[in-house]
Amino acid sequence: MAASDQPLSQRELSDRLGMDPSDVVGLVDVVEEAGFVTRRRDEADRRRYALEPTEAGWEAVARFDRVAEVVSDRVLATLGDADRAELERLIDLVLAS
């Protein structure tokens, strides 16, 4: 959801996370209870739930992004430019598969 401004279904989220849909239901329960997402019936398909980040959810994503950037900078600081480029290439290769 953070990568898109459009609501996701629980099925779409499970596909993106590579998780079983039944496991995603529990995960969504937790983040909904924490106030990070809202879950509502999709008007076009009443069997489907649309998940949308709340303002608190977007703020949590922004905080996570800042922390991830600091951690990444610290971890990658030990690598030279060529090694960093190679690591990025390998990560892209893994993500594409």
Banded pLDDT at 95 (limits 50, 70, 90):
confident
Q: Output the six-digit token pair for 31.
A: 């983040």
Length of the chain, in residues = 97
What residues contact residue 17 under an 8 Å CB cut-off, 6+ apart? 24
The domain locations on the chain are 8-96
Domain 8-96 adopts which CATH fold? Arc Repressor Mutant, subunit A (1.10.10)
Give the mean pLDDT of 21-43: 93
| Pairwise CA distance, residues 71 & 5, whole Å | 26
pLDDT higher than threshold 80 for residue 5? no
Q: Per residue in 15-26, pLDDT tens?
A: 999 999 999 999
DSSP state of 77: T
**Residues 89 and 47 sit within 8 Å (Cβ to Cβ):** no
pLDDT value at position 2? Answer: 54
The model carries a pTM of: 0.68
DSSP state of 75: H
Give the mean pLDDT of 65-77: 91
